[in-house]
Every structure is written in C-alpha cells, then in structure tokens.
C-alpha cells in the first residue's frame, strides 16, 4: 500500500450516529451517504451503520448510480435519490427499487410512461426558499393533491431543504420551517397523505428540534464535523477521517535557498526540508501553499513551498526528523489535532469539500 493513506475510524462513525440518535430520540434517521459517503467509502460506511442494533431506517444519495451501488452493497433499506430523474434512469429506478424525488409534471410523466409504476413510492421535494430544486411551497398543495389521487404512486415522503440552518441567525430557516409546517397542516386538514415528513439536515439536527418531523438527514455530522462555526455543539462528534503519511526525504538547505516551483519559500537560516507523498492530485489543494501544518513526532511543522501534484514539503528546522517518521496531515495524536476545519479556513470553504476532495489515489484504511 502507498505510504500515504486515509484512516477511516468506523468506531467514531458509529459513535457519531448513536449520538445523533440520542439527540433526535424516536425520530427515524436517513444517513446521507452521497459522494462516496463524503469521501469516506460508501461500502464500509453503510456496513458499519447496518451493524448497529438501531440501524438506519433509510439511506439517501444524490444519484441513481449511487443508489445502485448501495443495492450492490446489500443495503435493503429504502434509498432516496435527491437529484432529478432522467428518462435514461427510469428503468434502473424500478430495477433497483429506488425512491425518486419528484417535483414536476415532467417527473410524473416519465414514471407513468414507463408503465411499470403501479404503486411506486416517491418523495416530493418542496422549495421553501432554497431556490435550487423542488416545487414551490405556493404550488405544492395542488401538486400533491393530484398525485395522491393517482393510484400509480405512493407518496412515501415529503421534504424540504434549509438554506441557513448552519448559521447563527435562524430567521430565514425558521421562515422556511413555517412554510413547510403550513403546507403539512393544510395537507393533513384535507386528509391528503404525504408519508414521512423530513427537513432537518446536520445544522437543523443540532439547533432546530422543531424541524425533526418523522425523519432526519444527517450528512457531515455523521462524519464528525459541525456544518459551520456558528452552530451549537449540542452533539458530541469525532472526525472519522485522518490522513497519514511518512517522511520520504530529508534535505538540508542553506539560508537564501528556495523550495519548490516558483520559489515561494526562502529559508532565512540553515534548515531541514522534508517531503511527503501528497499533492493536489490527492486533494491537498495548491492554495494551501505556505499556509498549513502537519504533526510530526508530537509537534507542528509548517508546510513550505508550492504544493505540487504529487508531493509537499515541510520545514522541520534542525529537529531530529528522519525518513520513515509518521506525518499526520489531518488527524489527532496525544491531544494535538489538525482537522478538515484547519484546511477549510485557509481555503475559505467547509469540511464537506475537504473530505469529498480526498481522491481515490489515497487508499482508505478502515479501523474499528
């Protein structure tokens, strides 16, 4: 195996899930495992979660292809597909017993024209303000009423998605929640079945208990991160992914010498430069150049020189660092930690992008 690898701590994954379960109590859980379980490896992720006594009731992914992959991983729970359906995917939806999201007459026509959809389960997405996908909350009642009267379909669920549940100011999230609640009340008043209602993503699970409804959809929290620095930390979470490598070379340079492409780092004294096998092709972005650190032998060292496709360098001064020493790029050891938030702050992004961006060149090593 390559000297650089990602460890995926399945024990932490299960602890995060159980802590979420403790928070939401009797509400069902639909883990979001799209994008290869946010870069953690979908097969091992779902097998770990399904090994629990209180295993998830549903799973959610973005793409039909991801749903098929879950079925091939022997996932038997209902699988919700978030993304709009395409005519070329309809047969696969039926074949693999997937639940499509619908929010337009075109979606309904696609499914009906297939001719195999007697009693097909669907979830309806309602746009309450995200303005990305979904039928407008203003038009949703009539749309759902018509579908409810069509015996070709079973409305298994109705859902919305928050735009700002991870922000300190919850005013817009609460407006979205009110719009969704008002729609549910109208449907209920008129005895229109809508199945399971769900709205809560990770931010809402942490801070908006009124949004739990029948089922919640944890994403990044499952993998050990709070969705922003503005949510509460009302659930104990542990990052599941670490990235470990080793020192491949130690090179002493003189004062005034430079490191890597473009000579972005100049030594101001005699110093040792170590290199490790990790680069932007692995997900260590070039914009991290000269702005991040690693943990070596219980101490932080600065990354120096332009990040290259396959390799990065660190300034270890004159410390006794030798070839083969462990280098922690993301992770924790002896209460010293450096995690995806540390990269994310430099890149002005979020941990989601960091973990999803660790490429398949980096082997995953699973530990329990």
- DSSP states of 156-187: EEEE---SSTTSS--HHHHHHHHHHHHHHHHH
Q: CA-to-CA distance for 88 and 64, rounded, in angstroms?
A: 10
* H or E, element range at 189: helix 171-189
Q: Output the pLDDT for position 113.
A: 73
Find out whether 238 and 9 touch, Cβ atoms under 8 Å.
yes
By annotation, the residues acting in catalysis are: 34, 261
* H or E, element range at 71: helix 64-72
Query: Could you tell me the CA-to-CA distances from 40 to 13, 36, 284, 359 in Å, in that order?
Result: 10, 6, 16, 10
Find out whether 154 and 120 touch, Cβ atoms under 8 Å.
yes
Find out whether 353 and 223 touch, Cβ atoms under 8 Å.
no
- Residue range 289-302: mean pLDDT, rounded: 97
Q: Is the pLDDT of residue 117 over 70?
A: no
Question: Which residues are 332's β-sheet partners?
Answer: 337
Q: Output the pLDDT for position 283.
A: 98
Nearest to 201 by CA among 216, 215, 190, 185: 216
First and final CA of the chain: distance in angstroms? 19
Q: Output the pLDDT for position 17.
A: 98
- What single DSSP character describes residue 200? -
Burial code (b: 16+ CB inside 10 Å, e: under 16) for 146-160 equals: ebbeeeebbbbbbbb
Query: pLDDT digit string (tens) for 6-23?
Result: 999 999 999 999 999 999
Q: Output the pLDDT for position 284.
A: 98
Find out whether 180 and 128 touch, Cβ atoms under 8 Å.
yes
Q: CA-to-CA distance for 13 and 346, rounded, in angstroms?
A: 26
Find out whether 289 and 305 touch, Cβ atoms under 8 Å.
yes
Find out whether 335 and 345 touch, Cβ atoms under 8 Å.
no
* H or E, element range at 297: none
Query: pLDDT digit string (tens) for 308-356?
Result: 999 999 999 999 999 999 999 999 999 999 999 999 999 999 999 999 9
Q: Output the pLDDT for position 116.
A: 63
Q: Output the pLDDT for position 97.
A: 96
Q: Output the pLDDT for position 112.
A: 85
Q: Output the pLDDT for position 119.
A: 82
Q: Output the pLDDT for position 192.
A: 97
Split at pLDDT 50, 70, 90, the class of 115 is: low
Domains with residue ranges and CATH for the chain: 10-223 (3.20.20.10), 241-367 (2.40.37.10)
Query: pLDDT digit string (tens) for 191-236?
Result: 999 999 999 999 999 999 999 999 999 999 999 999 999 999 999 9
What is the three-class DSSP state of 247? coil
Contacts of 150 (CB under 8 A, 6+ apart): 108
pTM for this prediction: 0.95
Q: Output the pLDDT for position 212.
A: 98
Q: CA-to-CA distance for 283 and 263, rounded, in angstroms?
A: 22
Give percent of the chain above pLDDT 70: 99
Q: Output the pLDDT for position 46.
A: 98
Split at pLDDT 50, 70, 90, the class of 142 is: very high
Give percent of the chain above pLDDT 90: 95
Q: Output the pLDDT for position 357.
A: 97
- Residue range 25-45: mean pLDDT, rounded: 98
Q: CA-to-CA distance for 56 and 17, rounded, in angstroms?
A: 9
């Amino acid at each position: 195996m390559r000297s650089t690898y990602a460890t995926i701590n399945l024990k932490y994954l299960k602890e995060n899930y159980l802590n979420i379960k403790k928070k939401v109590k009797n509400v069902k859980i639909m883990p979001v495992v799209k994008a290869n379980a946010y870069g953690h490896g979908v097969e091992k992720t779902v097998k770990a979660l399904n090994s629990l006594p209180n295993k998830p009731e549903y799973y959610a992914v973005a793409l039909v292809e991801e749903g098929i992959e879950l079925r091939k991983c022997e996932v038997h729970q209902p699988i919700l597909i978030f993304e709009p359906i395409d005519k070329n995917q309809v047969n696969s939806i039926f074949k693999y017993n997937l639940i499509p999201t619908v929010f337009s007459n075109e979606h309904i026509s696609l499914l009906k024209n297939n001719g195999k959809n007697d009693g097909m389960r669907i979830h309806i997405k309602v746009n309450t303000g995200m303005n990305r996908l979904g039928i407008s909350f203003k038009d949703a009642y009539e749309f759902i009423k018509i579908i409810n009267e069509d015996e070709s379909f079973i409305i298994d669920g109705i859902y919305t998605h928050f735009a700002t549940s991870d922000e300190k100011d919850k005013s817009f999230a609460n407006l979205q929640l009110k719009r969704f609640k008002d729609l549910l009340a109208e449907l209920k008043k008129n005895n229109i079945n809508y199945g399971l209602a769900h709205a809560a993503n990770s931010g809402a699970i942490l801070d908006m208990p009124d949004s739990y409804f029948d089922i919640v959809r944890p994403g990044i929290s499952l993998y050990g991160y709070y969705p922003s620095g503005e949510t509460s930390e009302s659930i104990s979470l542990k990052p599941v992914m670490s990235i470990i490598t080793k020192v491949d070379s130690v090179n002493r340079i003189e004062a005034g010498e430079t490191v890597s492409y473009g000579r972005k780092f100049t030594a101001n004294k005699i110093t040792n430069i170590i290199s490790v096998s990790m680069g932007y092709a692995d997900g260590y972005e070039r914009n991290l150049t000269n702005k991040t650190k690693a943990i070596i032998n219980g101490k932080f060292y600065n990354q120096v020189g332009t990040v290259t496709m396959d390799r990065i360098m660190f300034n270890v001064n004159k410390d006794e660092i030798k070839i083969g020493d462990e280098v922690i790029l993301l992770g924790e050891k002896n209460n010293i930690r450096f995690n995806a938030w540390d990269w994310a702050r430099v890149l002005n992004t979020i941990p989601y992008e960091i973990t999803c961006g660790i490429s398949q060149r980096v082997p995953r090593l699973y530990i329990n």
